[in-house]
Amino acid sequence: MTDLNDPTSPVFLEKDGAIGRLVLNRPDKRNAMSEAMWASIPHAVAQLDADPDVRVIIVCSSSDKAFSAGADIAELEQIGGSPERQESNRLAIRDAQRTLARAKKPTIAQVSGACMGGGCGIAIHCDMRFAANTARFGITPAKLGLIYPLNDTKQLMDLVGPAKAKSMLFTGRVVDAEEALRIGLVDEIFPAEELSEKTLGFAHQMAQVSQYSVRGIKQTIRLILDGQHDDDGVTAKMFKDAHSASDAAEGVRAFLEKRSPAFRWNGETD
């Protein structure tokens, strides 16, 4: 198991006050994703989700040359000859991406350089994607004789629509940062030298508001993405309970007193 607290590990964690970072760290291979790296991501997300000090998670690279070049092709050749490895690799990728998509806390992919294949799979399963203007995106299974997983394909289609998803997947072409912004693959682009500062600034904006609200809103958005169209008992209770929670009391009081609120909720039962 990867030591997530070791900054020399292929995946490691950092903390900067209320901001947690999940860092991809295999720069000599442009962060090509091995099965072991995929398998470490759920543990990394769980650790940050459980940390009461962390309010926002940034997924980034230790190198500005590549967010991730995608799958480790040498390992793929080994996997191709083993049905057991094919299944364990499939499940490792699925679990990593599902865990990212369903993290309790907001996630931002901070993308520098190449973001290809599985790297795109990581980025599109975060809540938001901020990219350097020099970033490049590609999803290339058709160039390798492979098929993109259904979950990844749906996530891509939800972001860019069926036509643009087909354009990328049917050709394996590389999309520059400007096109990625235009089609909705990324949310913001910045000069490369400003990316880290701008991402951190936005993360701090999210960290300063009520985390009770952010978590509840994120849960509601996930239910909608999963197909729910109207309130049920759970969502109706979430709406009602918020009014009597401590953050709402503080927010209303601060508004009336014309001051900034001091929200205290940190993930514990209110």
The CATH number that applies at residue 180 is 3.90.226.10
Amino acid at 144: L
Q: pLDDT digits over 60-90, tens only?
A: 999 999 999 998 988 988 888 899 999 999 9
- On the question of pLDDT at 266 being above 90, the answer is no
Residues 203 and 227 placed together within one structural domain of the fold: no
Alpha-carbon distance of 9 to 127, in angstroms, equals 25
> What does pLDDT average to over the chain?
95
Burial bucket for residue 67 (CB in 10 Å: 0-12, 13-18, 19+): buried
Strand segments, DSSP code E, in 52-206 are 56-61, 66-68, 107-111, 114-116, 128-132, 136-138, 174-176, 188-190
Most confidently predicted of 114-118, 149-153, 266-270: 114-118
Nearest one of 167, 92, 91, 157 to 124, comparing CA atoms: 157
DSSP string, 139-151: --GGGTT----HH
Residues 106 and 179 placed together within one structural domain of the fold: yes
Residues 195 and 214 placed together within one structural domain of the fold: no
Residues 231 and 177 placed together within one structural domain of the fold: no
Q: How many domains does the chain have?
A: 2
For 223, the domain range is 210-256
- Token pair for residue 145? 């004789």
- 109 vs 72: which has the higher pLDDT: 109
Only one residue has tokens 């299944």, namely 87
Instruction: Give the pLDDT mean for 243-260.
Output: 96
- Token pair for residue 56? 């926002």
| Separation in Å, CA 119 to CA 19, 35, 67, 125, 148 | 22, 13, 7, 10, 13
Is 265 among the domain residues?
A: no
Cα angle, residue 56 at apex, residues 51 and 57 outer, rounded to 5°: 85
Residues 49 and 157 placed together within one structural domain of the fold: yes
Residues 151 and 177 placed together within one structural domain of the fold: yes
* Model confidence, pTM: 0.95
DSSP secondary-structure letter at 222? Answer: H
Alpha-carbon distance of 221 to 125, in angstroms, equals 14
Residues 157 and 92 placed together within one structural domain of the fold: yes
Distance of CA 79 to the CA centre of its chain: 26
The CATH number that applies at residue 247 is 1.10.12.10
